[in-house]
Amino acid sequence: MSKNPARQIGVANDGSLPLPWLTTALAQAASLAKAHALLIHGPVGGGHLEFGLLLAQAALCEDPTAARSQQPCGRCASCHLVGTRVHPDLLLVLPDALRVQLGWVMDEDSKLNKADAKPSREIRVEQVRQAIAWAQQTSGRGRGKVMLIHPADALNGTAANALLKTLEEPPGALRLLLTSADPERLLPTVRSRCQRLRLELPATDVALDWLLTQGMVDPGPVLRAAGGSPLEALTWATEGLSPVLLAELPRRIAAGDVSSLAGRALPRVIDLLLKLAHDVQVLAAGGSPRFFAVESLPTGTDLSALRAWQRELMRAARHDEHPWNAGLLIESLVSQAAGLWRRQPQTGGRATSGASLNSAR
């Protein structure tokens, strides 16, 4: 599996969608075709960027039938230009770090960033100012313009404020598309100026079928650990988080073995540890774990210590953009975890006494 699977942009020549589950949301979007500013929200990994690009392609499509139905034709010159990211009336406003991750570095971006050691994870105010200047120029192909801001949560405070006037009164026939997995993090003034469209994750069978077409073998455990998000599952697979590793991970952590987490990005590690903490508590309360297989979970947990660990993880999650030393922090979090299964367990629940590596079954 390639490190950066190239993603299809918009509807292809043969009419196929980039992600099969976007059909429903695309139909819903038809009723919002007149909205000048649309906020696409919903869980991470549902395809916000792909969906935004699809709506942009629909708005700019030059096929008269397609324009009426809000379904891009995939065949006209405009659809082709969107598909190759060179449409003069489509502007993508992304954090530089995401652009690099997608392999979309362009000359002007490189020039902008050559002084920076690390590409920014924020959308900078200069990007918004350039976008506003672009919006005020005449449409190149005469069908209006589309600005896609992904994700809008990446707008820093100054950048979000700079955008407000354009969001309130878009010049000409400009359509603004914003995405966010967590709209509550946006400025209320940004939220209130947008109509909303929620993008849901696909049903499990749809997600599994799609992951198989992407070359994943046995996608079930990875999809489950990724919370049902197929795009996240695909990313996890490219990071080497295999079904075998996920089956072993909970007990490795309980034993204080940090080897399978070392070198991974801190947000990913914290996400995995939080999911483990969740599942262990659910299991102790007699419920069914959500992210890991029940037989993979260690039992005999000190639950009050587990909740303290969980609070520590949440605190680390809030500061994971600026880790003082990610490697040391991961070691420390895993060593705290190991302590949970070494302590004397509490009475009650399904927490059992004894050794650290008791199986649930």
Based on CB atoms, which residue is closest to Zn ion, 61 or 211?
61
Residue 69 CB, nearest approach to Zn ion (Å): 11
Based on CB atoms, which residue is closest to Zn ion, 26 or 316?
26
Based on CB atoms, which residue is closest to Zn ion, 19 or 61?
61
Based on CB atoms, which residue is closest to Zn ion, 11 or 231?
11
Residue 74 CB, nearest approach to Zn ion (Å): 6
Residue 72 CB, nearest approach to Zn ion (Å): 5
Residue 248 CB, nearest approach to Zn ion (Å): 48
| Phi, then psi, of 231 in degrees rounded to 5 | -70, -40
Would you say 190 and 160 are in contact if contact means Cβ atoms under 8 Å apart? yes
Residue 184 CB, nearest approach to Zn ion (Å): 35
Based on CB atoms, which residue is closest to Zn ion, 83 or 289?
83
| Phi, then psi, of 332 in degrees rounded to 5 | -65, -40
Distance, in Å, from the CA atom of 82 to the CA atom of 60, rounded to the nearest integer, reads 8
Based on CB atoms, which residue is closest to Zn ion, 78 or 229?
78
263, exposed or middle or buried, with CB in 10 Å at 0-12, 13-18, 19+? exposed
- The three-class DSSP label of residue 76 is coil
92, exposed or middle or buried, with CB in 10 Å at 0-12, 13-18, 19+? buried
Continuous H helices in 7-122 = 22-29, 48-60, 64-69, 77-83, 96-101, 107-113
Cα-based torsion angle of the residue sequence 357, 226, 209, 198 in order, rounded to the nearest 10 degrees: 150
Based on CB atoms, which residue is closest to Zn ion, 13 or 352?
13
Binding site for Zn ion (CB under 5 A): 61, 63, 73, 76, 79
Distance, in Å, from the CA atom of 343 to the CA atom of 304, rounded to the nearest integer, reads 11
Residue 59 CB, nearest approach to Zn ion (Å): 10
**Is the Cα dihedral 171, 175, 179, 183 positive or negative?**
positive
Distance, in Å, from the CA atom of 301 to the CA atom of 341, rounded to the nearest integer, reads 5
Residue 141 CB, nearest approach to Zn ion (Å): 11
